[in-house]
Amino acid sequence: MAEVIDIIDPADPRVADFRDLNSADRRPDLPGRAGLVIAEGVVVVQRMLASRFAPFALFGVGRRYEELAADLAGVPVPYYRTTAEVMAEVVGFHLNRGVLAGARRPPELSVDEVLASARTIAVLEGVNDHENIGSIFRNAAGLGADAVLFGDRCADPLYRRAVRVSMGHVLRVPFARLPRWPDGLELLRQRGFQIIALTPNPAAPTLAAALTGDRVALLLGAEGPGLTEEAMRATDVRARIPMTPGTDSLNVATAAAMAFYERVRIS
């Protein structure tokens, strides 16, 4: 079982890795600083324990330890047990979910590793909102997308909020960064992917009509600007999700979910 260590002092250095989670310049999950991955809540911690992101410690209230006891069997990491009040002083706010786990970032996967057995992937350009990133990963896990690739100007998928919103699926759905954006899309074409750019342009064919490949890469851009023209020129086809007249676009995570569903529906 995990070793249970009681923490009564908010200044205890043993929980320093969980300190100041809301601080813009001291957050432990900043890639340029400690670069940790923080899982928040029982379900997300369980998914971290089942992933390649091996936790080095957990920090939480006693009740959450009891809920995680079976998952922690055979896991040789400390569980720093404390009160909700002490925990709030350490992390900088009241944490309703009552437990955190911290992991070091493992080496990033390569594009080849991510694509090895994938048939449906999302490719993101300029998606810089952490909640949208997290939602896309949750949708990918729920609707059968195999991986996510990051192009230019995307937010960090391992930021605490993205991990939380994804319900931990960002730790399980493989992802990688495409080099030389958007020229790196040619790597997908060489591996047999049909590359489809999602656009709200009413002149584009519907996604259902465009989906013809056995392996499919769905490109999605940030809300507002969408995909750059340069990225769309590097794809095989532009396609739209049908919308009612007068609607200019969908939230990018919603568009991703509908695209993943359409892929499952006709494949």
pLDDT digits (tens, 9 = 90+) for 118-140: 999 999 999 999 999 999 999 99
Region label for 261, one of left (φ > 0), alpha (ψ between -120 and 50) or beta (otherwise): alpha
Work out the average pLDDT over 33-49: 93
Is the pTM higher than 0.85?
A: yes
pLDDT tier for residue 224 given thresholds of 50, 70 and 90: confident
- Using CA atoms, how far apart are residues 267 and 259, in angstroms rounded to an integer? 12
Section 204-211 average pLDDT: 96
Confidence at 267, pLDDT banded by 50, 70, 90: confident
Cα–Cα distance measured from residue 236 to residue 156, given in angstroms and rounded to the nearest whole number? 27
Section 33-39 average pLDDT? 87
Residue 24 has pLDDT above 70, yes or no: no
Report whether pLDDT(70) > 80: yes
Residue 167 and residue 251 in one domain: yes
pLDDT band at 22 (very low <50, low <70, confident <90, very high): confident
CATH of the domain at 15: 3.30.1330.30
18 DSSP assignment: G
Q: Are residues 118 and 92 located together in one domain of the fold? A: no
Q: What pLDDT, on a 0 to 100 scale, did the predictor assign at position 266?
A: 86
**122 lies in which domain range?**
111-266
Q: Quick one: 98 and 131 in the same domain? A: no
What pairs with residue 237 in β-bridges?
Answer: 196
Same domain, yes or no: 59 and 117: no
The residue among 39, 70, 104 that closes a domain is 104
